[in-house]
Amino acid sequence: MDRKDGPLRVLVAGPGGQTCLPVDPPVTQDVYDSALAYFEDRAQWLAERPARIPADGPVAAHPPAVQLYHWYPNRPVADPGVRGLRNDYPAPVTVGEVVHPSAAHAYWALSVAQPEVRAETVTADTSSAASRLAAGTPLGEGWEHARTAVMTSLLRAEYDQHPELAEILPATNDATVLHDDVDSSFRGDNAGRGRNWAGRLLERVRSEPHARQYWDPGAATGSGA
């Protein structure tokens, strides 16, 4: 039953009348006036709703999107623009003592269970070749639960190690980041057919510097200064 059913029955019956429900008492003038006020308030709320700014924003219902299309550079370029945000952009990422040709190489290398295949993945000519190696061997136990955290850590490492790329990300403001990935419908948006985790985690890493002004983990745990 809709909330407005009761007031509507009252308006239909009118002062002194009886609603369609036998259990309802006769409609008094005060009850009728209250029902009328309910609909007047509702009409005003609906009229103001389009101009109301959401508490959590953004004001725009559909924020702009940054599309990271497929691109296969063999080496870093002077001004890659937003394409420098792609996981397969050739910016070496060091994890432990291992240098991977790109964040994508590191992602696929970390996913596999067999050390010898992991070594081959690290030295693959392209990130697509690295993904094919990963696809042909067993993945590490629990990888499907760890992969988003691993990808986030790799993005942080990439931008810590390549400040010139880190400067590109804030320039996207609050735009939705769509990352195409022919090797993964999990990581890629792929024209709306994929889950776009690579793009979504770029947005997360982008937000982290801003979050520090609102959140101090030390204060929450009692370990802050």
Give tens-digit pLDDT for 182-210. Answer: 889 999 999 999 999 999 999 999 999 98
Confidence of residue 213 (pLDDT cuts 50, 70, 90): confident
Between these two residues, 122 and 48, which has the higher pLDDT value? 122
Task: Output the pLDDT for position 152.
Answer: 97
Task: Output the pLDDT for position 224.
Answer: 53
User: Where do the structural domains in the chain lie, given as residue ranges?
Assistant: 5-51, 65-211
Average confidence (pLDDT) over 32-50: 86
pLDDT digits 0-9 by tens, 1-14 = 456 688 888 888 99
Task: Output the pLDDT for position 1.
Answer: 47
Confidence of residue 219 (pLDDT cuts 50, 70, 90): low
pLDDT digits 0-9 by tens, 80-109 = 999 999 999 999 999 999 999 999 999 999
Residue 89 near residue 73 (C-beta atoms within 8 A): yes
Domain 65-211: which CATH number of 1.10.357.40, 3.40.309.10, 1.10.3720.10, 3.30.70.260: 1.10.357.40
Task: Output the pLDDT for position 90.
Answer: 95
Tell me the C-alpha distance between 32 and 209, whole Å: 56
- DSSP states of 64-88 as a string? -EEEE-----SS--S--GGGGGSTT
Q: Is 173 helix (H, G, I), strand (E, B) or coil?
A: coil
Average confidence (pLDDT) over 22-30: 90
Task: Output the pLDDT for position 53.
Answer: 67
Q: Is 49 helix (H, G, I), strand (E, B) or coil?
A: helix
Task: Output the pLDDT for position 171.
Answer: 93
Confidence of residue 71 (pLDDT cuts 50, 70, 90): confident
Average confidence (pLDDT) over 121-131: 95
SS3 content of the chain, % helix, strand, coil (to 5): 50, 5, 45
Task: Output the pLDDT for position 23.
Answer: 85
Average pLDDT, the chain: 89
